[in-house]
A = this chain, B = another copy of it.
Amino acid sequence: MKAPRQSDVARLAGVSQSAVSRVVSGDVDRIPVETRERILAAVKELGYVPNAAARNLRNKRNRLLGVHTFEAVFPHAREDFYFEFLLGIEERAEQLGYDLVLFTSTGTSDGRRRIYRDGTNRLNLADGTVLLGAATDREELARLWHDGYLFVHIGRREVPGAEIPCIVPDYIDGTDRLVASLADRGHRYFAYLRQGIEQEAYFDRRAGYRAAVERLGLHDRSPGFRGEPGLSEEWLDELATGPETAVVAESISLAEELRTGLAARGRQVPEDLSVAVLEGSGERWDCLAIPRKEIGRIAIDALVARVEDPEAAPVSRLVACDLVAGETVAAPRAKE
């Protein structure tokens, strides 16, 4: 019942162990057909299967890619956060013939998952790892990078002193195009609703917004544009009566708050005010769609490229976002 080794196969076939190794690992060029068939027969008879651990040790390769999420995958998969990424990751890994390791072992009691635990990490089980998720501990990323691990991060993460390879939605360009499409429909007076989150992904949206406003000579006198988060009653009053005809919101919840506030003031979306959202939406908002599945695929490609060519330089990639038409944008209406 013990697993047979190459030496067992070799003995049975009456050849040397190295011959067996050559045959089973497909380096078959210089082995006569007849010998090969004897070996293959012995392999079959004994039910020989190569020992993965030994191969890994020898080859420094695994055909194993890691997926590290900073919290449990499946509870969130349902909420679609990880889900689409994983879809792309799994699909591409399957196409390329890699297996996937889910790093689940380092969960802490608070539900977060760390990379290092007791100064050690298991990422080297895999040939390379995709990191994804919110609120990464930047120290860990920096250390990982310094330790020379092969990884890519989904979502932009800037860490001083390290150059993290990231696959990121191009929020700058996406936001810029979204604003441009509003301008195309005739909007000139804009307002921006900002969240209280200070993170790379939001910096990008703000940069894209500002760029479009300046380039297209649009007007924005909103607190959000000047850096103030949230939506005040005063601004709702302003929006209800002021010159603004289009609002760009960082989140669906802000957009919803806006719609409610406007309704209370007798204003409708999109008849009185057009609203677009800078994140994906299952509902009918006009919005920016993050191509999550594609990002997952690209992350695997980026990783595999480096696994298979260790000389290859780490690269970050921007992935274009789609503009999704909904029912919350219309042409501007002149206010009385």
Contacts and interface: CB of A to CB of B under 8 A. Distances in A.
Which of A1, A100, A125, A143 is the most central at the interface, judged by chain B CB atoms within 10 Å of its CB?
A125
Contact of A90 (B86, B104, B121, B124): B104
* Size bracket of the A interface: 35 or more
A47 interface: yes
Interface string A17-60: 00000001000000000000000100110010111111011001
Nearest to A118: B26
A129 B268 CA distance: 56
Which of A24, A47, A74, A102 is the most central at the interface, judged by chain B CB atoms within 10 Å of its CB?
A74
A94 B90 CA distance: 20
B99 A125 contact: yes
Which of A1, A93, A101 is the most central at the interface, judged by chain B CB atoms within 10 Å of its CB?
A101
Interface string A48-89: 011111101100101110000000111101100001001100
Contact of A93 (B104, B120, B147): B104
B49 A124 contact: yes
A119 B57 contact: no
A80 B132 CA distance: 23
Contacts of A105: 63, 93-94, 97-99
Contacts of A47: 143, 146-147
A86 to B, nearest CB: 5
B87 A52 contact: no
A3 interface: yes
A78 B83 contact: yes
Nearest to A73: B90
Which of A3, A40, A75, A104 is the most central at the interface, judged by chain B CB atoms within 10 Å of its CB?
A104
B49 A53 contact: no
Given A52-B125, A53-B56, A100 B101 contact: yes
B97 A72 contact: no
Contacts of A78: 78, 83
Contacts of A124: 3, 49, 51-53
23 contacts: A1-B148, A2-B148, A24-B120, A44-B119, A47-B143, A49-B120, A49-B121, A49-B124, A51-B124, A53-B56, A53-B124, A53-B125, A57-B57, A64-B125, A72-B91, A74-B90, A75-B87, A90-B102, A94-B105, A94-B107, A100-B102, A100-B104, A102-B102
Given A64-B101, A99-B122, 7 more contacts: A3-B147, A47-B147, A56-B57, A64-B125, A90-B104, A99-B104, A99-B105
